Amino acid sequence: MIAPETSPKPQISASSSSPAAAAAAAAAAATQTTQFRTSGQQQEYSCLLCSDLWTFQDPSVNKSSSSEEDVAADPEPNSLLDPSTLLFSSIRDVVNLRDFHPPPMHAFMLWQTFLQNVNPLSKVIHAPLVQPQVIEASKDFDSVPKPSVALLFAIYAAAVMSLKEEDCRSQLNGPKTVLLSRYFSACQQALAAASFMKSRSIVTLQAFVVFLLPARQIYDAQTFWLLAGIAVRLGLRMAGQGGHGLSNDSVYNSQLRRRLWRQIVWIDGRSHSQIGVRPSLQEIRISPLPANLNDADINPDMAEMPMVHKGPTEMTFCLCRYEVGEFMTLHARKLHDPDVPVRTKDQLIDQFESHMEDTYLKYLDSAIPLHLMAEGGVRSAVCKLRLMAHHPAQYKGKSMPRAERDMLFAISVQMVEYDVLGKSTKALDTFSWHLDVAFQIDAFVFMLIASRTQAADSPMTERAWRLVSDMYKYRPALLEDGRNELYAAVRALTLRAWEAREADIARKDLDPLAVPNIISELRERKSRKARTASMASILVPPDASALHQLAGVATQVDTRYNDMNQNLASSLGGGINTGTDAMGGPFIPDLDLQFDSMFSNLTADVDVTGWAPVDWDYWNALLERNNVLQ
């Protein structure tokens, strides 16, 4: 098997127009025109193509927990951000929302921001019909129908969610948290006023689905999962069995329903991944894809289906994502099955890759941000599929062939490159809200582990370590989050992988390596914590294997997981003291020191540069427990 070729990093030349400038122009012409300017050239595509089983979710975002601290952080029962307000609110008067509506300049700015940052990633609204409502609400708010009011506030909340803090302050004159809370709570009230649980209006359902985009940054994962389930039920009621449509549906309504349903299915899949539960509605997840059409191609008065485009459209990003999700729904079990021949898996993946290449990728221009996102997303997804098909766990007890090992290392490097490309490309800043939660951490872990078996001075190893520095640069939570057990494990793994490389250089009597800044920083933090921290002793059985020691420690480092991991810890042997502190409360260990001590207590005869000690069951369990592999 030959590793996929790595394309050179595209040079980005396209730039997005300023939402502020567009808003000013729209505000000046608000009373004269409702002309819609398509955002087809400003579209973008996510490096993270979500599927039911392999969603790359940053464990620091929306991580579910039942700890006392998390319970205390829940919204007050009467808070407008309490999800119960959405379902049981007594507020029914839309006029009360007039004071929440932004001034005309800000309204148009938020609308343009939504079109540029959010709409191409969701495509649940028909922009030419929504823009007149934005203008009307700025002129005469009370005349706007209740479903449209809910949709407008959902759009405003989603737009704020997509902006960075400095942009909110400079363009909207307020902190992001305040603005997001304002429009999010207003959307809750508007949805309640529109009776969204009973409404059969497609606009109301559009409002609820757009509302769910910022909701995943506000609600905990369990609540978001429940709300996504409501969207599924509302979508089934409206679209009829998962988007198959109604027999007398118009062309326009049929396309809107398909777009809306597919986005609901994607959101539902994301919500399941965040809590570590596999979707249970597989039989309704396969439905007709929306057509490859721009918004300008459809309108409510059309009687016939227009000609479907063969090249990129405003739907390109969503269609690629939906195709990947559908492939995963149909074939994930086969790709995971160790009894299915690898050749069969490869043929299946090759066919899918060929389909995506012929249908989408060969038409893309990487100088266009949306197209760059699309290409990176699809190619990263294909790499993910190949890692699934060739996962080292299937070689348990056997030696993995060198060619296979090298191929998987190259694939993991390529996946991390796509992640870094998305975060480092300036032209993709408008999509950072999406990329921030799209973290290829399992590929990063794989790359670090696999690097130990590669020649320390090889070009591929050099490339991998440049990516390590980049990953810590663009994912600062990896370094700063001291309470995340997965991040702590990755920090320890990073240090040990570098030490293995240094050892290989010394054995070959080569010139010493220049120590990367991130390694120096990790070592300094480790030393500083060792000098100041007071922690319990880590007991490691001297005859335990390296990764069994790792698993024994890792499965107990966070007291929130004590009950869940009791059996695993006892079966693997080893562990740490998770008793009580001097005040009688639960002892919260320093995760970095726990993992560092675990590694430093390895028995002398363990070859940390070899492949054999890697316990893939441990890493799979750790990633799954942090909702990465769902």
DSSP string for 84-112: HHHHH-----GGGGGGGSPPHHHHHHHHH
Q: Which positions ≥6 away from 111 have C-beta within 8 Å?
A: 23, 26, 131, 134, 155, 159
Contact 273, 626 (CB under 8 A): no
Q: Which positions ≥6 away from 151 have C-beta within 8 Å?
A: 125, 130, 133, 203, 204, 206, 207, 210
Contact 623, 393 (CB under 8 A): no
Q: Count Cβ atoms below 10 Å from residue 525 Cβ, excluding itself.
A: 15
C-alpha angle 328/435/100, rounded to 5°? Answer: 110
Residue tagged 């759009």 (tokens) = 155
Cα 303 from chain centroid?
39
- The phi, psi pair for 586, rounded to 5°, reads -65, 140
Three-state secondary-structure class, residue 586:
strand
Tokens of 555: 């499965």
- Domain ranges (residues) in the chain: 44-69+77-275+286-315
C-alpha angle 17/20/21, rounded to 5°? Answer: 60
Q: Tell me the C-alpha distance between 242 and 264, whole Å.
A: 10
Residue 580: per-residue pLDDT:
34
Q: Count Cβ atoms below 10 Å from residue 9 Cβ, excluding itself.
A: 13
Q: Which positions ≥6 away from 167 have C-beta within 8 Å?
A: none
Residue 160: per-residue pLDDT:
98
Residue 615: per-residue pLDDT:
53
pLDDT, averaged in runs of 10, over the chain (630 residues): 38 43 48 36 30 32 37 42 62 68 97 97 96 96 96 98 96 96 94 93 97 92 92 84 58 94 90 74 69 96 94 95 90 89 96 98 94 91 92 74 91 95 94 86 91 93 98 94 87 94 94 96 90 54 40 34 35 33 38 46 28 50 58
Residue 169: per-residue pLDDT:
97
Residue 249: per-residue pLDDT:
82
627 Rama sector, left if φ>0, alpha if ψ -120 to 50, beta otherwise: left
